[in-house]
Amino acid sequence: MISTKPLRFPKNFTWGVATAAPQIEGAAFEDGKGESVWDRFSRIPGKVLNGDTLDVANDHYHRYPQDFALMRKLGIKNYRLSLAWPRIYPNGDGEVNPAGIKFYNKLIDSCLKHGITPWVTIFHWDLPQALEDRGGWTSRVTVDAFATYAETVVKALGDRVKNWITLNEIRCFTVQGYSPGCDKAPGRRESAQVVNQTYHHALLCHGHAVKAVRTFGGKGARVGLTDNSAFSVPVTETPADIAAARAWYIDQNAHILEPIYTGRYSAAYLKRTGKDRPVVQKGDLELIGQPTDFLGLNIYTGQFIRAGKGKVRYEELALPADYPRTTCWWLNIMPQAIYWGARFPAEVYGAKAIYITENGCGYDVEPVVNDEVQDLHRRDYVRNYLRELHRAIADGVPVKGYFLWSFMDNFEWQDGYTRRFGIVHVDYKTQKRTPKLSAKWYSTVMAENRIV
Ligand code: GBH
């Protein structure tokens, strides 16, 4: 009989699932929670598909004990969640809302009681609207307010939470919220200089959060950023194309990963941005460049690159119209992105511990057969990415964990509730949760610590 060689993951590999507060909690105006930029943005006609709002979402605010029970049943041991800043500080700064702290205390206790380790993201895009009204990410007022918020939550939860993620995907709440043509909250249209300044302010917040964890996090606390870097895939795995893909990767991520890992903006970045470069104050880069414990990466897709001709270092290739993708126009299926996406930061910046803090896929249509959502497209997507992740580990890339996005279908930002990313199906009329085929498959992967 022919046997298959099991693709095992290292002992102690962290398997988990991820969500974010604004996408699942609902209770958008309950117990003193303030308005977030997404609460406001979703009410502007035409911004979110079908006019969907975050008001109720998955009602996780009231259903978290049942959700944790389901996670336990599926064998999920690690859960990446985020905290809603406007629940803790309804006005962004000023008075803390005790009901917000109380809610997260109860939630973390329940999570732990179900045998699940929480991985807490301090900020996942839901800026208090009150701060947006005072300039939002263009202003250092937001940075100061964030520093206080980060300190407050680390002090409140740090006795039980040991894994902290500072910010989720800086690009998505800066460039995609403040640039012409962008589609995310708050939907402003600012100049290149102002947009570069918003990155810089977000980087400062990352620094403040690292400081808060070091100061108040207690024993064993660890902290890192989650970035959605731009990921490249060499067209051929030959030295010339790999070098080209690496050069492209360095150029694309200079404004976020360089200052975090080197404590400076690279000469190439400063030259490229010229007079649009961010204004940097004394002490900023020291704050931003403090050592972290890991790098979180959300890897979904990539850009094909090959060596350029003559003096041109690289060539970006456009995808054919019929290239395989999910229902999301941007989510082209490219498993090798997870291989190179993990490998380049280890090689270029010396990242010592990498966690894939998100990977997954979204579809509008998922077949129901005999009452089961048979999402074989998701099972296939995840399996193919995991094979490439396994290859990265075998090649010596220090990948320590993987979190599947998402535990359950949820509010997919500008795509509302139409686009489903969950391994658990949510019926938004009844709030019934039903594990899909992919959830059962992933349960076996986690239990056996290998690709099945
Ligand atoms: C993640 O973002 C988010 O962290 C999560 O909240 C979300 O639900 C999940 O993925 C699924 O989307 O303007 O060309 O960049 C994923 C990264 C970056 C994907 C912005 C969509 C828009 C296309 N996102 N991108 S583009």
pLDDT digits (tens, 9 = 90+) for 115-129: 999 999 999 999 999
Q: Is the dihedral of CA 8, 112, 92, 26 positive or negative?
A: positive
Task: Name the residue with the closest Cα to ligand 1, atom 19.
Answer: 330
- d(CA 187, CA 65) in angstroms, rounded, equals 35
CB of 415 within 6 A of ligand 1: the answer is no
Q: What is the pLDDT of residue 86?
A: 98
For ligand 1, the distance from its centroid to the CA atom of residue 298, given in whole angstroms, is: 9
Q: Which domain holds residue 415?
A: 7-451
CATH number for 273:
3.20.20.80
**Counting atoms of ligand 1 from 1, which one is nearest the CA of 226?**
4
From residue 181, alpha-carbon distances to 65, 132, 177, 191, 329 in Å are: 40, 19, 9, 12, 16
Q: How many domains does the chain have?
A: 1
Q: What is the pLDDT of residue 153?
A: 99
Q: What is the pLDDT of residue 23?
A: 99
132 is catalytic: no
Phi, psi of 329 (to 5 degrees): -60, -30
Q: Does the structure show a pLDDT above 90 at 272?
A: yes
For ligand 1, the distance from its centroid to the CA atom of residue 330, given in whole angstroms, is: 8
Pairing mode of beta strands 432-435, 424-427: antiparallel
31 within some domain: yes
Kindly report, residue by residue over 244-260, the tens digit of the pLDDT: 999 999 999 999 999 99
Q: Does the structure show a pLDDT above 80 at 1?
A: no
Q: What single string gives the DSSP state of each residue in 203-272?
A: HHHHHHHHHHHHHHS-TT-EEEEEE----EEESSSSHHHHHHHHHHHHHHHTTTHHHHHHSS--HHHHHH
Kindly report, residue by residue over 188-222, the tens digit of the pLDDT: 999 999 999 999 999 999 999 999 999 999 999 99
For residues 99-122, average pLDDT: 99
Task: Name the residue with the closest Cα to ligand 1, atom 7.
Answer: 412
26 within some domain: yes
CB of 172 within 6 A of ligand 1: the answer is yes
Q: What is the pLDDT of residue 4?
A: 79
Tracing tokens 């470069």 back to the chain, one arrives at: 277
Q: Does the structure show a pLDDT above 80 at 2?
A: no
Phi, psi of 245 (to 5 degrees): -65, -35
Between 1-15, 289-303, 388-402, the lowest mean confidence (pLDDT) is in 1-15
238 within some domain: yes
**Counting atoms of ligand 1 from 1, which one is nearest the CA of 125?**
6
For residues 366-375, average pLDDT: 95
400 within some domain: yes
- d(CA 251, CA 381) in angstroms, rounded, equals 28
CB of 126 within 6 A of ligand 1: the answer is no
CB of 123 within 6 A of ligand 1: the answer is no
Task: Name the residue with the closest Cα to ligand 1, atom 21.
Answer: 330
Instruction: Determine the straight-line distance between the first and last CA of the chain, rounded to whole angstroms.
Output: 18
Residues of the chain with pLDDT > 90, as a percent, come to 98
pLDDT band at 3 (very low <50, low <70, confident <90, very high): confident
2 within some domain: no
Q: Does the structure show a pLDDT above 80 at 73?
A: yes
CB of 405 within 6 A of ligand 1: the answer is yes
One-letter amino acid at 197 equals Q
CB of 358 within 6 A of ligand 1: the answer is yes
Mean pLDDT of the chain: 97
Q: What is the pLDDT of residue 94?
A: 98
**Counting atoms of ligand 1 from 1, which one is nearest the CA of 362?**
11
370 within some domain: yes
1 within some domain: no
131 within some domain: yes
**This prediction's pTM:** 0.98
Q: What is the pLDDT of residue 5?
A: 86
Q: What is the pLDDT of residue 280?
A: 98
Task: Name the residue with the closest Cα to ligand 1, atom 26.
Answer: 330
169 is catalytic: yes
Q: Does the structure show a pLDDT above 80 at 349?
A: yes
